[in-house]
Structure 1
Amino acid sequence: MLSDDLFGVLERELLKSRVARGGSHQTRTMSRIKTLIGRRLHKSYTVQGVAALLKRHGWSCQGPARRTIERDEAAVAGWVKETWPDVEGPWRRSTPGSSAKARPDSR
């Protein structure tokens, strides 16, 4: 558990890095914050632990404010239509299955 004093140090580091970047154009990922905690505070957290820590102290996870200018909507729509179904796979099995570990009795 990170003490309030150590969280204050982390918060100052996060704010300092934001000012150094000139705003928030580069996102802070949980893994980057995890690395910062390890290097600066010498504490070990999981990515989920970092998210919980930040949420507990009133920080929120935010996504990008807008999409990139370079985004090609036609390419995205084509990928979703043609490629995603293969990646996602079927929701149900095509044949009945069993969750039993043992082979079914063939009496």
Structure 2
Amino acid sequence: MLARIAEVVRRRFGTEYTLARLDLLLHRLGWSMQVPSRKATEWDEVKIAAWKDKLCPS
């Protein structure tokens, strides 16, 4: 995820940061990684697999 943010920063502002430096900067700004604490109740593995197969067939 941090690499994706670094790419956005590079494209948007023309500035490159190492991942460690970007992590430090984001924390200083009060940003942190947000990770869901649980799965949604409507989570359906079978439907997700079917959607993935339709979207990106092998």
Q: How many residues are treated as equivalent by the alignment?
A: 42
The structure, 1 or 2, with the larger RCO (C-alpha pairs under 8 Å, 6+ apart) is 2
Match of 1:63 in 2: 35
- Match status 1:31 vs 2:3: yes
Report percent identity of matched pairs: 38
- The residue correspondences of 1:1-107 to structure 2 (distance < 5 A) are 29-67=1-39, 69=43, 70=45
Gaps of 5+ in 1: 1-28, 71-107
Q: Give the TM-score of the pair, scaled to structure 2.
A: 0.59
**More helix per residue:** 2
The CA RMSD measured in Å over matched residues stands at 1.6
Secondary structure class of the residue paired with 2:34: coil
Match of 1:74 in 2: none
Q: Give the TM-score of the pair, scaled to structure 1.
A: 0.35
Gaps of 5+ in 2: 46-58
